[in-house]
Amino acid sequence: MKSGVLFLVETEEELDSTQTTVSLPHEHKYDSLLEAIDVKQTISLNNSSKDAQKGKIAAERIFESSEARINDNGISESPIEQKEVVSTDFLYYPGEFFVLSSSSGMFAVELVNRMSNTSILRSKIDLNQFIISKIESDVELNPWKMGFYNKKGSADNGVIHGDTLLNDNELG
């Protein structure tokens, strides 16, 4: 996992692999949907009494599509319900953080909160305040990637890669 969506965790408990069936009302084509948490790996961390966990979370979801048919009266379309499985990878460190591989896996937060004794909360990181605090504490910053937006000139926004970006007269 090279990127992800970060959440905070309030509880110290590890996740268990588990699967549950969610019953659906009678008006649906299907009786139920499956949801699962699969802890695939436990990672021992140096200098920590807790282990991190990696795995996958998946859930069946219903989506509607339409089916076209050609008959004597022309072409007719009718809605049909279909099941699909959505899934995401996760990295979990009890009491600290929970990371999803992408924002398309946001369903996993509600699923984990419901299927376990874990409490996962949205996080917010103020990068500007983080940089200011590092500069004020005399820590050397040397980012290798920076972005810009609302600049005057030909480029409205972009991402720059390189060394000593903060010393660049155009960016820093």
74-93 and 97-100 strand pairing: antiparallel
Number of helices and strands (H, E) in the chain? 2, 9
Q: Do 47 and 104 sit in the same domain of this protein?
A: yes
- 9-22: pLDDT as tens digits: 999 999 999 999 99
- Give which of 136, 134, 140, 146 is closest to 172, Cα–Cα: 146
**Whether 110 and 146 share a structural domain:** no
Residues 10 and 91 in one domain: yes
Q: Is the pTM of this model over 0.85?
A: no
Residue 13 inside a domain? The answer is yes
Question: How far apart are the C-alpha atoms of 147 and 62, rounded to whole Å?
Answer: 39
- Do β-strands 157-161 and 145-149 pair in parallel, antiparallel, or remain unpaired? antiparallel
Q: Is residue 85 located within the same domain as residue 141?
A: no
Residue 91: which domain range?
5-122
Is the domain of 114 the same as that of 135?
no
- 48 plus 17 within the same structural domain: yes
Residue pLDDT, tens place only, 87-96: 999 999 999 9
Q: pLDDT tens-digit profile of 70-103?
A: 999 899 998 898 999 999 999 999 999 999 998 8
| Closest C-alpha to 36, from 15, 58, 52 | 58
The residues, ordered by sequence, that sit 6+ positions from 162 with a Cβ below 8 Å of its Cβ are 144, 168
Q: How many domains does the chain have?
A: 2
159 inside domain: yes
Do 143 and 107 sit in the same domain of this protein?
no
Q: Residue 94 domain-assigned?
A: yes
